[in-house]
């Protein structure tokens, strides 16, 4: 009888014990999730090979899905947290589309100049405790980071004539970050890899229509004395009609502004360009090889769609840097104080040169209204991509950190790359003529 009782008792208690265990398990998982903090990651790891952006593998999110905790004490994170919540489609439903224009940044700058929202009084500097101790360029940035609206001084409305007829639009728009004084770089680019017009593909490959624009701000007067080059620039503008200039100080921390303003210009003036290359004026690009490569991308999507021409899947390609963390050394060029930004950077492509689809450029232009300006332009683009759910794709042919020392002199090594940094105007001319004739044997 007692044995029988024991069995009954066991059978009755078993479910209770199991439910109990389950509850303990749930409690422990909740505790772990709440105390989650991203693991510390190695600095500046450069991804080898092509990253898994092929659609089969989705990027693994580093943060929990519901990240409602704010990084206390970091200005950018706090501002962005607010903005992200405001635009969260789950929390806000359909309102995000209208909300993108309210509150944060007014979208269009009137022709009369900068709107009242851009006045220095509106700046976020008072929110930062150690503001007065920060380096000057950081302080300048914080004082103006609420404003992404500057009038365009020189526009080139006709660069992409195919604005109305998509089939006449350029295959590739080269948008090159330059500054007033770099006349020689611009001229070398025009004579070599940035030549405007129809360009043959490499070795009989298909070519395409290439258009080139240079992105400029205004000469930075805070650098001390400088020769006034505006007159010279005026001559250049009227000669070549490929210069876009906006009315902001052309400084390193304002490069993000250049990105944002370019993307807006693109959606107005060149929305049908199939691909965009954006890079520095001291890189060398094998444009013919790039055209060939882009044609291949288009063909791949054509095959998938059974001979129907489908738009290329959105991508951004370059030298991908993953798991980078902010530089905390206050004397360096890339310094980001802890009071400004906390956490790792999203994966991004080195700003020396990246190529992306025109469709992605349009989406980036839209999402840039929902991402606060960040002092480092390539990281900023990574932040925008992150919000679009696109991960940058690594291509081993983009050498934004140059070739290994021994390969620099060998002509063969240049036949396997798409981009190399950094090259002087003279070297650009030499490389371009060298690449015209295929090497004997590589």
Ligand X SMILES: *[C@@H]1O[C@H](CO)[C@@H](O)[C@H](O)[C@H]1NC(C)=O
The reply to whether 249 sits near ligand X by the rule CB under 6 A is yes
Q: Give the dihedral of Cα atoms 343, 344, 346, 352; nearest 10 deg.
A: 120
> What is the three-class DSSP state of 343?
coil
Count of CB atoms situated within 10 Å of the CB of 1: 5
335 binds ligand X per the rule CB under 6 A: no
Q: How far is the CB of 6 from ligand X (least distance, A)?
A: 59
**Terminal CA-CA length for the chain:** 91
100 makes contact with ligand X (CB under 6 A): no
Q: Which stretch binds ligand X (CB under 6 A): 77-85, 138-146, 231-239, 428-436?
A: 138-146
The β-bridge partners of 56 are none
Whichever of 195 and 249 has its CB closer to ligand X, that residue is 249
141 scored as a contact of ligand X (CB under 6 A): yes
Strands 348-349 and 197-199: unpaired
3-state secondary structure of 88: coil
Residue 149 or 282 having the CB closest to ligand X: 149
Rule CB under 6 A: say whether 140 interacts with ligand X. yes
CB-CB contact of 364 with 388 (8 Å): yes
**How big is the CA angle at 388 (ends 35 and 319), to the nearest 5 degrees?**
90
Nearest to ligand X of 220, 298 (CB atom): 220
Contact between 137 and ligand X by CB under 6 A: the answer reads: yes
Does residue 248 bind ligand X (CB under 6 A)? yes
Which of residues 54 and 97 has its CB atom nearest to ligand X in the complex?
A: 97
Query: Cβ 291 to ligand X, closest distance in Å?
Result: 35
List, in order, residues 6 or more apart from 204 with CB less than 8 Å away: none
3-state secondary structure of 217: strand
Q: With binding defined as CB under 6 A, does residue 251 bind ligand X?
A: yes
String marking each residue 51-90 x if it binds ligand X according to CB under 6 A: ----------------------------------------
Query: Is residue 340 a contact residue for ligand X (CB under 6 A)?
Result: no
Helix (H, G, I), strand (E, B) or coil at 371: coil
Minimum CB distance to ligand X, residue 126 (Å): 17
Please name the residues in contact with 279: beta carbons below 8 A apart, sequence gap of 6 or more: 174, 175, 176, 177, 285, 351, 352, 353, 354, 419
Select the span of 251-259, 297-305, 334-342, 400-408 touching ligand X (CB under 6 A): 251-259
Yes or no: say if 413 and 403 are a contact pair by the CB < 8 Å rule. Answer: yes
Q: Strand 419-421: give its sheet, edge to edge.
A: 283-285, 419-421, 398-399
Answer for which of 254, 256, 287, 400 binds ligand X (CB under 6 A) is 254
Q: Which of 253, 335, 356, 380 binds ligand X (CB under 6 A)?
A: 253
Query: Taking the complex as a whole, how short is the minimal distance between the CB of residue 83 and ligand X, in angstroms?
Result: 20
**Residues within the interface to ligand X (CB under 6 A):** 94, 97, 137, 140-141, 144, 248-249, 251, 253-254
């Amino acid at each position: 009888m007692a044995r029988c009782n024991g069995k009954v008792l066991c059978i009755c208690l078993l479910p209770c014990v199991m439910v109990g265990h389950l509850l303990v398990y749930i409690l422990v998982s909740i505790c772990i999730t709440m105390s989650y903090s991203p693991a510390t990651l190695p600095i500046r790891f450069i991804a080898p090979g092509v990253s898994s952006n092929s659609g089969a593998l989705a990027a693994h999110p580093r943060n929990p899905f519901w990240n409602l905790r704010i990084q206390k004490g970091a200005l950018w994170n706090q501002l962005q947290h607010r903005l992200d919540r405001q635009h969260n489609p789950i929390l806000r439903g359909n309102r995000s589309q209208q909300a993108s224009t309210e509150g944060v940044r007014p979208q269009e700058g009137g022709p009369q100049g900068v709107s009242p929202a851009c006045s220095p009084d509106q700046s976020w500097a008072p929110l930062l405790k150690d503001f007065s101790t920060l380096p000057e360029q950081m302080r300048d940035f914080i004082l103006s980071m609420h404003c992404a609206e500057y009038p365009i001084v020189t526009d080139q409305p006709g660069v992409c004539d195919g604005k109305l007829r998509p089939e006449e639009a350029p295959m590739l728009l080269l948008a090159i970050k330059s500054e007033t004084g770099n006349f020689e770089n611009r001229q070398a680019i025009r004579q070599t890899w940035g030549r405007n017009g129809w360009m043959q593909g490499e070795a009989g490959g298909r070519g395409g229509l290439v258009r080139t624009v240079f992105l400029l701000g205004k000469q930075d007067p805070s650098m001390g004395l400088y020769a006034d080059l505006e007159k010279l620039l005026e001559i250049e503008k009227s000669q070549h009609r490929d210069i876009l200039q906006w009315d902001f100080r052309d400084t390193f921390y304002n490069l993000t502004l250049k990105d944002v303003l370019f993307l807006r210009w693109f959606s107005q003036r060149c929305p049908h360009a199939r691909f965009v290359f954006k890079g520095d004026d001291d890189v060398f690009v094998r444009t013919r090889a790039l055209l060939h490569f882009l044609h291949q991308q288009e063909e791949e999507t054509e095959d998938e769609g059974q001979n129907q021409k489908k738009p290329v899947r959105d991508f951004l390609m370059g030298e991908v840097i993953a798991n980078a963390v902010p530089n905390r050394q206050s004397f360096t060029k890339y310094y980001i104080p802890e009071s400004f930004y906390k956490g790792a950077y999203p994966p991004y492509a080195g700003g020396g040169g990246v190529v992306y689809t025109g469709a992605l450029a349009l989406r980036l232009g839209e999402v840039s209204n929902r991402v606060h300006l960040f002092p480092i332009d390539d990281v900023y683009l990574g932040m925008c991509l992150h919000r679009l759910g696109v991960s940058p794709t690594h291509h081993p042919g983009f050498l934004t950190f140059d070739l290994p020392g021994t390969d620099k002199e060998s002509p063969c090594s240049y036949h396997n790359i798409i981009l190399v940094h950094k090259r002087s105007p003279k070297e650009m001319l030499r490389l371009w003529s060298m690449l015209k004739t295929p090497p004997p044997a590589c």
